[in-house]
């Protein structure tokens, strides 16, 4: 239900409203849908997102980051905490290390990136922890 492959967010929400009117006759479900739609709108206000340049070492593995590329750290004003990294071709965010030596903050309207990286705020992930988890995942994929 993420808005990917649509010409605009309006086209996405119009289609979702069509489904809602067809299937969500139950008031509780209709209310949940309305809440979801509002949360999707809030999460997709890109002017609230942090913009960072990845200055760490490139990782050629699947979902790896590329040195020098610019990435978004999405958040909303209501919830300005690190929840992953996204680029302009992805439809969801992915979890990565948030070490200060890997990132250069370009824009940070909510201060979320600064708090995450330098104050080791909610979502902070050390490179050691990240690599440990990724190595375990790659081992599982090989088996």
pLDDT, tens digit (0-9, with 9 covering 90-100), for 63-122: 789 999 999 999 988 889 998 998 766 667 888 999 999 999 999 999 999 999 999 988
6 Cβ neighbours under 8 A, 6+ residues apart = 12, 15
The Cα–Cα gap between 126 and 21 comes to 45
Task: Say which residues have a Cβ less than 8 Å from residue 89's Cβ, sequence separation at least 6.
Answer: none
How far, in Å, CA of 49 to CA of 96, rounded? Answer: 16
pTM: 0.77
pLDDT digits (tens, 9 = 90+) for 23-54: 777 888 888 888 888 888 888 888 999 999 99
Query: What are the residue ranges spanned by the domains of the chain?
Result: 9-43, 46-142
């Amino acid at each position: 239900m993420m808005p990917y492959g649509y010409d605009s967010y309006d086209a996405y929400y119009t289609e979702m409203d069509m489904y809602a009117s067809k299937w969500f006759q139950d008031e509780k479900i209709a209310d949940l849908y309305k809440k979801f739609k509002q949360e999707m709108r809030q999460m997709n206000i890109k002017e609230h997102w942090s913009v960072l340049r990845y200055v760490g070492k490139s990782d050629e593995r699947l979902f790896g980051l590329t040195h020098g590329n610019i990435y978004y750290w999405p958040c909303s004003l209501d919830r300005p905490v690190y929840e992953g990294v996204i680029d302009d071709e992805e439809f969801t965010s992915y979890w990565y290390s948030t070490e200060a030596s890997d990132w250069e903050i370009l824009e940070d309207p909510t201060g979320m990136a600064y708090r995450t990286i330098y104050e080791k705020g909610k979502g902070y992930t050390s490179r050691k922890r990240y690599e440990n988890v990724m190595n375990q995942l790659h081992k599982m994929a090989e088996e």
